[in-house]
Structure 1
Amino acid sequence: MACLLDLDPRWRALMARGGVIDIGFDHPSEWPHAERGDQFFVKAGEDQLTAELCRCGGARYIRATLTLPIRGSDEVLGIALWAEVPHVTFYAYLDTFEDGPAPADTVATLANDLPPLAALDAALALTFGDGTERAAATLTGGAGDISLDDLIALYEASGTLTRDDLKTTS
């Protein structure tokens, strides 16, 4: 289906590369240790990291999924990111792995270095549904979608693609 962004050569180049590429992070930016990689669990001193939870120093993090519609298209970008949450939320979420109830929705802090999201000047809100799936993150404060320029900036900040990757010769 045609969309307004089809007129932009950068968008056409992205579609030629296979389309929108979701972004994921192995750990929060503050994690000072090696990546988790294929390991289920990493423990370094008191710090601990799994695919969904992280304890690093006094901070507690939960992995969440942020879905952002891309303005001018029917496409969405998915970002598996880390959010710093209050301790009570972290431990309530941990309990869901043993059939505990889902934590209450909460405001969180983005814990991955993504300046383009910070530039949208929005807070991060987490919802947990029934507790059987990863927390869903939304941007509050009016940021409901992103532009193609925002998408490219997110790709560059995450190391997914560069602007040069989307240059065309035609």
Structure 2
Amino acid sequence: MKDLCLEKGMNPHVAILYATVSDTFKRLRDLVEDVGKEELNYKGPANDENSIGQLLQHLAVVDLHWVYRLKDEQISVFLQEKYGPMLDRKGELPKITKGSLQELMQDYQDVQSMFYNECMKLTEADLMREVYYEKGETATIRWGIWHIADHNRYHQAHIRRLRKLYQYDRK
């Protein structure tokens, strides 16, 4: 039977939201598990799209920002340097800074672990707390956790498409 796996010791309301993020991350991991270096850097048939590597790095960076919104803290310089910016100077996703899928996924797993640790501390009341989102807007933590899963699924569709295009181009 399909169901969300709720974390023991986590507030039940938080646990349901967290489970959507956890499940989505597992599906992403399965989707990319056999991606090689060439496919990781593939930018579509016209070489003008974001690569799988860029999308994975982007997801990790965005989720890291959400972790620090939950903490109500600024991201440390160390982590800013490790994960890089959300966008480059042109307003596009930056080139990947890691050489392999394993490095990208380990960095992303580290962010997921930080996210889990923060969710373990959240209460039902915390879900309604407003945090800065972007461009001067705010969002509730509840919406933020939902958005992490939604954003990941959105880019999984791009990754799935790139994988199909890559296989087609290799024929």
Q: TM-score, normalised by structure 1?
A: 0.30
The structure with higher relative contact order (CA 8 Å, sep 6+) is 2
Determine which structure has the larger helix proportion and give its number.
2
Greater C-alpha radius of gyration: 1
Q: TM-score, normalised by structure 2?
A: 0.30
Determine which structure has the larger strand proportion and give its number.
1
